[in-house]
A and B are shown apart, each in its own frame.
Chain A
Amino acid sequence: MADQGFDKDELVNTIHEGIEAVNAADSSAKLHEARNTYVGKDSLIAHVQHGLGSLPVDQRKEAGQLLGKLRAEFGRAYGARSEQIKAIEQQQRLRDEKVDVTLPVDRHPLGARHPLSKLMEDIQDFFVSMGWVISEGPEVDSEWFDFDSLNFGPDHPARQMQDTFYVKGDKAVDAAGFKGSNMVLRTQTSSDQVRGLIHRGVPLYMACTGRVYRTDELDATHTPVFHQCEALAVDKGLTMSDLKGTLDALAVAMFGPEAHTRLRPSYFPFTEPSAEMDLWFPDKKGGAGWIEWGGCGMVHPNVLRSAGLDPDEYTGFAFGVGVERALLLRHDINDMHDLVEGDVRFSQQFAMGE
């Protein structure tokens, strides 16, 4: 070491050489190496710093300033280069992490609802939105609720028309004297009409959705187990106008803004006047057209009487629609087998909706 304590030029050159090394570094490792070499513990500047105390006071200050300036210079260069290298290295890492996003992944597989169940929920939601209540009713029911209370007498031709599953039994006796159980698998969700009127009271606005049964063999258009939605409103002052309005609103909810309904005179024991309801279906295959969708009418006085209500005081309307039919229509399904067989591929098309 010289008299003045250190070789100033050498120090300056070394630091400048260090700055060049920093600028030349192309990785964090080289950058760190340059820092260790030029400003680290064994670097020249560290030695100089160490010897600073032994310098004369007048030189000490000047040297100190020089050292500070050089360190600052180096530090700026280091900082700048460090930012650059981090950016480069981050880009490199991102490049390395690239994947083929078209590789199939199924970490959280989704199952599927059955479209019939979902459609039932949609129909329920429609009625809920109108302020109605939803009932279910028992699938095995008494003949009284399924037939007699609805004005189907024991010998009513309509009662024979319905292909009823009877529940076996030998303790009960029916009106004609035949032994049985007086229970059936309900043939219609209308079976919950009088139960609703009696147990919930009037005014009543109620939709009953659920499974019903008829002794039809399964084929492309029939199934012995199917689903209906029954709507019943009993209040003071209800007319066929209210029936028509409710039907139109349901049609729009199910089939879009262009859908509407029309009524044709018909016959049901539990309604009078009665009507068949046709649906104007804009998306019908082969062009928009009318499709039979269900039966309806004004509640028959005998049905009101079955619930202990006075037909001179109350009026009501009721209608029933087939859920399968609506589903087949909406989705252009041609074969009932698809709905009942439970092939998972069928439901999976619909995922969580329908």
Chain B
Amino acid sequence: MPMVDIDWLKEHVSVPDDLTVEQLSQDLVKVGLETEDIHPSTVTGPVVVGRIVDFDREPQSNGKTVSWCHIDVGEKYNDTDENGNKVPRGIICGAPNVAKDALVVVALPGAVLPGDFEIATRKTYGHTSEGMCCSSKELGLSAEADGIIILTEEGFSKEEIKDIKPGDDALALLKLDRPILEINITPDRGYAFSYRGVAREYHHSTGRAYTDPVPALAAAAPKVDKNHIGDVAAKIEDNDPIHGVPGCDRYYLRTVTGFDPNAETPNWMRRRLVRAGVRTHSLAVDITNYVMLDLGQPLHAYDLDKVAQPIVVRRASEGEKLTTLDGVSRTLSHEDLVIADSPDGNEGSRVLGLAGDMGGAFSEVTSSTRNVLIEAAHFDQVTVARTARRHKLPTDASHRFERGVDDQMQPAAAQYAADLLTRYGQGEASDNPTDLDSTTPRKPILFKADWVKRLANLDLPIDEISDILTDIGCVVAGGGNGILSVTPPSWRPDLNIAPDLVEEVARIVGYDKIPVEIPSAPVKDTGLTLDQRRYRAVANDLAEAGLTETLSYPFVGDEDYEAFALDADAVKAQSVQITNPLAGDRPFLRTHVLYTLARIARRNIGRGLTNVQIYELGTCFRLHDDMPVIPALPGGVRPTDEQLEVLEKGLPDQPKEAAALLTGQAVNPGWYKESRAIDYSDALALVDRLGRELGIDLRFEQFDPDNPQAGINAATWHPGRTAVVRTPKGTAVGVAGELHPQVCRNLGLPDHSAALDLNLTAIFAELSTQPLQAMTISTFPPVREDLAFNVPEEVTAATLMDAIRRGGADDLESMRLFDVYRGEDLGQGRKSLAFSVVYRSPSKTLRSNDARAIRKRIVDEVKKLGGKIRQ
């Protein structure tokens, strides 16, 4: 993002002498140019002007010649001799361009140069050197340097040179002492990618005087008719516009001949480019960059002698090749717009560059270029954006074209470049430019001025609104009936509708002037929904049961499938896949929350934690059979009801799940209690608890690994210690139990680790939305007794309890299983389950014969299962 140098900004807008970067930052933020960073000066400490009083060249044994110099660095920094007199400093310098009386830049001990290069007094080449003479490279001003900086050669005027004295602050002189502001430009404000634009915004923020440089430059440019072909023939042939918009609607060419290829970039310009973060090259290239930074118009400079006319702006043919300036060979698409020339009479046959993005190696200006062709064009935002994206080649030019460049400033920008080229590189600018121009004038926006009030709640007289819009560059007319006719300026392609203009008015008045009110929502469907409250209840309940909530990324891949012993192909077939995943090995979205929760458990265990018991509530993602293809639909238009249905049905299933993973000790050993390891029952108990929390009787069904229910993966779970969780209606809504020992090993979890995975969406769907109908609490006395049943092994506890419930009916208040026993006395293949039961009648006091009758009903039911009561 662009740098803002106060010194450069002054070219277009007046600024206070004491303007700091911090103040500038605040001023620009106010109108919407955000601060990215304030870069501190890269050079600190004493760096001063020195005059070489005398020097001796001293050839060294290593073949080098160094100079032992005495340098006057001013009263304050000079040495003091034994008599107390001030004398020049002794400094060793290896540069070839040391000269008597030369004004140089001396970094004194304590200075820090770019790259954290600290200057200190040091013994070298048999002398004590008290500082260093700096080259432009050492100060970060250039990439290469032939010798030290001689200030008289740095582009200062004679008057300025006269004022430079030893001991002066060289950093201030070279403008290296100040921090620089980097701003962020939102995509709508292409024009602010220039000093022209930033200066205007500074004016809007502070009211200080601003001069748009473009009108004067435009006035100085040669006047030619629209679509005039000048010195250089050119044509635009766009056979394949995107969205019907031509790739280039303005193509302007101007030549400068007799240019001195050895001319150097002036130091002031070099310093400005360096501070803007742009590397310096040759004068011609530096000027195109400078004008782009200053005005916002990307320019390209060609070696005129290498270009075969006519120049053709056209779409590339599919597969055409171009080696761009960065040395990369690129295969072009039919959507890329290119600049081509016509060698050997083959019109448009040779591609010179990607329009608005980057040039090619051929036809670039070089150290032998004498005749320069300047191209100033206006390219379509979408075309350039797609090219930059397609070739992963964002450039300073493409950034500007993507956001919109002023389509009327091409002659002015070329004029400015021609001015600079002739001033610093001699040569002569032609007055016969080529200007292919199919731009159309902006249409006025009919703007109801009361929209300022309607959207921004600002009470402004229509005249003030008109003045503000005029100040941002609009041409404003009308207003008698409250409607202004507002024609936005050519550099503001973002201004198209009334709210755009409201924003301009509001930001310039100041968003802080907008009064504060609190809207009152109508009372309608307020509060959390039942499901939202249930979701929270589950989350809270698991934490209250002692588990810790975690949140994992939903990305999974082969590693996870392997760990859970899943059939990877089968899972992938129903998984959502990411085209551009971050971690290449996890390109899928989880089909169950448990799969990603396990990674979190493993990380905790890896950190030396034990008894890790965690849970997560989150979304999982599954493709399903009936997913219509999602269409690409235009924005700004309500889709039809049929389309809306497809937009929902075309999405994968995204149920909410709760998963928990339990490892280690269920009850920690303590001084007052016995410890107990986690097992399947902990997972089941949590499911039971959640069911009670939600008001649903979740039932457990024995998992059958040979014939897995509900798509549960047999290899993931312990074959005998796993339950399928079902609702009273019989819907399978999850699984709970112990993980398969192999899966525990794969995941690095202790043996017998338990887990659960519940589909909350499916459970919630079966919950009653009606208030619970409370039963009457009987106050008649209870009868308690213990019943032990001898039943065949295959009768599950759930089946037996159902039988007891049936037998007890309304008289059975509660039952609690308190013992499970297996022994030879019971007979082979049998077991005993013992219950404490409580009978209580809703309508009378139970006598002993009543209790006997109830017991008999129960025993009769159990008999049907092949069970009998134990005496």
Contacts and interface: CB of A to CB of B under 8 A. Distances in A.
A153 B633 CA distance: 10
B499 A272 contact: yes
Given A117-B539, A215-B582, A352-B544, 16 more contacts: A103-B671, A110-B543, A114-B549, A117-B617, A141-B651, A143-B630, A148-B635, A160-B389, A174-B632, A242-B517, A246-B519, A264-B32, A272-B499, A301-B497, A339-B551, A342-B614
Contact of A172 (B514, B520, B629): B629
Interface stretch (A43-51, A52-60, A85-93, A232-240): A232-240
A340 B550 CA distance: 8
A238 B577 contact: no
23 contacts: A109-B546, A111-B547, A113-B543, A114-B550, A114-B551, A116-B551, A130-B518, A133-B526, A139-B621, A143-B630, A144-B632, A155-B382, A176-B386, A239-B454, A244-B514, A244-B517, A265-B30, A265-B31, A272-B499, A302-B636, A307-B638, A342-B600, A343-B604
A262 B242 CA distance: 40
Report the 3 A-B pairs with minimum CB-CB distance, sorted nearest first: A265-B32, A308-B638, A273-B503
A273 B543 contact: no
A237 to B, nearest CB: 8
Contacts of A203: 521-522
A69 interface: no
Given A198-B644, A239-B457, A113 B540 contact: yes
B581 to A, nearest CB: 7
A181 interface: yes
A228 interface: no
A53 B548 CA distance: 83
A306 B522 contact: no
Given A155-B382, A158-B187, A265-B32, A166 B580 contact: yes
Contacts of A264: 29-30, 32, 34, 511
Interface stretch (B57-65, B303-311, B605-613, B748-756): B605-613
Interface string B575-594: 01111111000010100000
Contacts of A233: 519, 521
Interface in B10-36: 29-32, 34
Contacts of A205: 519, 521-522
Contacts of A224: 553, 582
Nearest to B634: A148
A62 interface: no
A172 B621 CA distance: 19
A21 interface: no
Interface of A: 103-114, 116-117, 121, 124, 128, 130-134, 138-145, 147-158, 160-161, 165-168, 171-176, 180-183, 185, 198, 200, 203, 205, 211, 215, 217, 224-225, 233, 235, 238-242, 244-246, 248-249, 262-267, 272-276, 298, 300-302, 305-308, 315, 339-345, 347-348, 352
A113 B615 CA distance: 9
A246 to B, nearest CB: 7
Nearest to B554: A225
B188 interface: yes
Contacts of A305: 636-638
B668 interface: yes
Nearest to A341: B603
B682 interface: no
Contacts of B506: 240, 265, 273
B632 A168 contact: no
Most buried by B among A156, A262, A348: A156
Nearest to A290: B29
Contact of B549 (A144, A166, A273, A347): A347
B772 interface: no
B631 to A, nearest CB: 7
Contact of B579 (A104, A130, A141, A180): A180
A306 B639 CA distance: 7
A113 B549 CA distance: 5
> What's the dominant secondary structure at chain B's contact region?
loop
Contacts of A139: 554, 619, 621, 654
A150 B635 contact: yes
B512 interface: yes
A175 B632 contact: yes
A182 B638 contact: no
A273 B581 contact: no
Contacts of B522: 131, 203, 205
Interface of B: 29-32, 34, 186-189, 242-243, 381-382, 385-386, 389, 402-403, 453-457, 497, 499-500, 502-503, 506-507, 511-512, 514-523, 525-529, 532, 536, 539-540, 542-554, 576-582, 587, 589, 600, 603-604, 607, 609, 612-614, 617-619, 621, 629-639, 644, 647, 650-652, 654, 668, 670-673
A217 B555 CA distance: 13
Contacts of B554: 139, 225
Most buried by A among B499, B528, B613: B499
A259 B536 CA distance: 28
A306 B579 contact: no
Contacts of A149: 635
Contacts of A160: 385, 389
B546 A111 contact: yes
A167 B576 contact: yes
Contact of A267 (B188, B243, B525): B188
Contacts of B636: 151, 302, 305-306
B672 A306 contact: no
A134 B385 CA distance: 37
A240 B452 CA distance: 10
A239 B651 contact: no
A148 B633 contact: yes
A267 B455 contact: no
Nearest to B532: A134
A228 B191 CA distance: 32
A216 B515 CA distance: 38
Contact of B539 (A113, A131, A263, A267): A113
Contacts of B526: 128, 131-133
A111 B629 contact: no
A239 B456 contact: yes
A205 B519 CA distance: 10
A139 B523 CA distance: 28
Nearest to B498: A301
A340 B512 contact: no
A156 B633 CA distance: 15
A315 B394 CA distance: 37
A249 B576 contact: no
A112 B549 contact: yes
Nearest to B644: A198
A248 B519 CA distance: 12
Given A111-B543, A225-B553, A264-B511, A140 B589 contact: yes
A343 B603 contact: yes
Contact of A235 (B519, B547, B549, B650): B519
Nearest to B588: A168
A131 B672 CA distance: 50
A230 B492 CA distance: 30
A105 B670 contact: yes
A238 B522 CA distance: 13
Given A111-B613, A172-B629, A315-B455, A245 B518 contact: yes
